[in-house]
Structure 1
Amino acid sequence: MNETSTTRMEAACSLLSEPERRYVLYQLTDRHGANIDEITDGIAAWKFDADPTTVDEARRQQIYISLVHNHLPRLADYDIVDYDLRSGDIVLTEGFEDIKPLLTQFKQTEEDPKIRELPSL
């Protein structure tokens, strides 16, 4: 493995280490695009294990801010998503194909409780 491949792999692992970023990408993969409000509601429901309409506005606003100021810019910097804050639209870009296999592995692990659980020591 050359240095460029190693650097790209480390960047992909770093990007996907954040559950919120993975959730954004899962949603975009399923829909081929989404709106930031839909993603915010989805993360709120997932993070607080609640119906999105029951999540208070302060928590929802925290998620929105973290998306706008952290997660979406990082994904955009690596050409994985493109987003427009005026319209709220988020779409996958060509760079997504580079991390798609790794994201698929993460999703399989997160969906299978037997894989997710760590063996007791």
Structure 2
Amino acid sequence: MSEDTDDSPLTQDQIFHLLQNERRRAVLRYLAQTDEDSVRMRDVAEQVAAWENDTTVQQLHSDERQRVYIALYQTHLPKLDDEGVIEYNQSRGIVAPTAHAAQLYPFIETDSHDAATSTQETAEFADGPEAPDEGADNDLAWSNYYLGLSSASALLLGATSLSLVPAALISSYLLSVLTVAAFGITALGQRFL
């Protein structure tokens, strides 16, 4: 159990470091959704394993449970405890969130947490001009554009290779230059638009 009783808020670097791991985020998601003051570590591990394997706790295999249990026991829960986010009694197998855990909840997707509040707080924290959901839609549009560009390049390359397009109209060197240029211009557009 952590002996650090520092009540100062977590720094931005601490928050990013703690949230960089999916299993730690899943632990926090579980704690945000429970109404209990403390929970059994086994219950946390089973739910995290169920989420990771896209199944229910009842349908988990023992190796799926064990893999997550060991990682939480040895690494992730002690890390959260060291940072003062949880109180982890390893010998009793009990996990209890602290006030610092509440500082991380706005960054965790939960069923019980208001998504609009989470998006607003995340954008304010990062000092970014757009909410994360807007960026996800933008990334999807760019990925569709890249997919179309790849398909068109593959078709043109295939047509040239099969001599469906006369070699006098387009050489393989010119095709390569055009393809690289198209992807380069698209990447610049994505970066600066």
The answer (yes or no) to whether the contact 2:85–2:101 under 8 Å persists in 1 is yes
Question: Aligned-pair distance for 1:13?
Answer: 0.6
User: Could you list the per-position Cα deviations for residues 43-86 of structure 1 after superposition, in whole angstroms to 9, with x for gaps in the alignment?
Assistant: 11100011222221112111001001111011011100011123
Q: How many residues align?
A: 110
Letter in structure 2 aligned against 1:72: L
Residue aligning to 1:11: 14
User: Could you list the per-position Cα deviations for residues 9-29 of structure 1 after superposition, in whole angstroms to 9, with x for gaps in the alignment?
Assistant: 112111111111111112112
Residue aligning to 2:75: 70
Pairing of 1:92-107 with structure 2 (within 5 A): 92-97=97-102, 99-100=103-104, 103-107=105-109
CA distance in 1, matches of 2:107, 2:58: 31
CA distance in 1, matches of 2:107, 2:73: 26
RMSD, aligned CA: 2.6
Q: State percent identity of aligned pairs.
A: 23
Letter in structure 2 aligned against 1:93: T
CA distance in 1, matches of 2:29, 2:39: 11
Q: Which runs of 4+ in 1 moved over 6 A?
A: none
Residue aligning to 1:48: 53
Larger radius of gyration: 2
The counterpart of 1:79, out of the listed 84, 90, 96, is 84
The answer (yes or no) to whether the contact 1:36–1:88 under 8 Å persists in 2 is yes
CA distance in 2, matches of 1:106, 1:94: 15
For structure 1, the 5+ residue unaligned runs are 1-6
For structure 2, the 5+ residue unaligned runs are 1-9, 110-114, 120-131, 147-193
The answer (yes or no) to whether the contact 1:33–1:89 under 8 Å persists in 2 is yes
